[in-house]
Amino acid sequence: MLKPEQIAKYPDNLVELYSKAEIDIIADIARRISTYEYFVPSAEFQYLKLKEMGNIHDEILKKLTSMTGKTDREIEEMMIEAGYESIKLDDKIYKKAGLNPIPVKQSPALLEVLRSGINNTNGLFRNLTRTTANTATKQFENILDNAYMQITTGAFDYNTAIRNAIKDLSSKGLAAITYPNGHISYIEPAVRRAVTTGVNQTALKMQETRAQELGSDLVETSAHAGARPDHAVWQGKVFSLSGTHPKYPDFKKETGYGTGAGLGGWNCRHNFYPFFEGLSKPGYSKKTLKEMSAKKIEYNGEKMTEYEATQKQRHIEQNIRKWKREYRAMEAARLPKDEAFAKIIKWQDMQQDFLKQTGLKRQISREQIS
């Protein structure tokens, strides 16, 4: 079993790598926006825009593709470490129960699961490279169109229109994926989600395969403070993998295992481990589980659960990153950076006060841009 805090740290290196690429690309786009020729007839504007979009697309693709080798190695190392670690901890429980699990390297089934997880996650990142090039190019097109419209109609003066365009670009970051429903995922959360989900799902599948090898049916889910409300209802409980045990509920049905919204799904840090009646002791008491979901954190007089507090912390971190991106973008475009600098200070002060009041730990990797 992997601990929630272990799973949470796996994305950090790749998030930092892609964050650096993102800010370089944003700075490049900001320079292009600030030097673009807007005072041209509409037909010429469309021609120049298409040419510039092609350049942007190629630059983004080149930038992200250049990281493929490093990304592949990082993912493979993470997967192997996580997979072996999760099995090692489970095997200790199996051995106490009198079972004799074979080493991972001698199990074709486990090695196949591990290799499949590595390939799938690497494939996901290659697809992320393509979709980011396409989606970010469309983002650039929309920004240019808005700036051109504001300038040519006289809605805003030239400098204000350029500033608005760069603020729009840096506000959320580089667009990575556009879903059929119109929702846009930006590159930093997309990378973090891909790594967290890929690592945890591969480790879970290896654990499930090990349980099948040994004919073990019962598992206990991990639990952590700050769990999503719909996950908190099943964390720290015992389930039947087969769903046929007369005493314990169906694991997949109750936890949603195998679905995006369930255990091991999008950004989920829950795990499970073997449980043997008469031998295993429940890892979490009812009191402990209740305390994990209690409103015991106070901020400005408001009581919050740890989940609510961490959501507030993510909001503050997102704003720090947002204004840091704008600072770098304005710097690249040689425009005033005063507002961005003042906002960075404001949100950093807010964060310091929030952490002091709540006792939560600062997570530097979530607020930095390279």
Q: Measured on CA atoms in the order 106, 108, 110, 115, is the torsion positive or negative? A: positive
CA 100/CA 60 separation, integer angstroms: 51
Q: Between 133 and 267, whose confidence is greater?
A: 133
pLDDT for the residue numbered 29? 94
pLDDT tens per residue, range 18-66: 999 999 999 999 999 999 889 999 999 999 999 999 999 999 999 999 9
For the chain, the structural domain boundaries read 4-199, 217-291, 297-359
Inform me whether the pLDDT recorded for 77 exceeds 70: yes
Q: Between 163 and 367, whose confidence is greater?
A: 163
300 φ/ψ angles, rounded to the nearest 5 degrees: 50, 40
Inform me whether the pLDDT recorded for 368 exceeds 80: no
* DSSP 8-state assignment for residue 104: G
Give mean pLDDT, residues 276-292. 89
Spacing of C-alpha 244 from chain mean position: 35
Alpha helices by DSSP H, listed for the chain, are: 4-9, 12-35, 42-65, 68-96, 108-152, 158-172, 187-214, 229-232, 251-255, 286-292, 306-332, 338-358
pLDDT tens per residue, range 121-144: 999 999 999 999 999 999 999 999
pLDDT for the residue numbered 370? 60
How far CA 331 is from CA of 188, 245, 339, in Å, comes to: 21, 63, 12
Inform me whether the pLDDT recorded for 1 exceeds 80: no
Inform me whether the pLDDT recorded for 312 exceeds 90: yes
CA 279/CA 96 separation, integer angstroms: 8
pLDDT for the residue numbered 2? 80
What end-to-end distance do the CA atoms of the chain give, in Å? 32
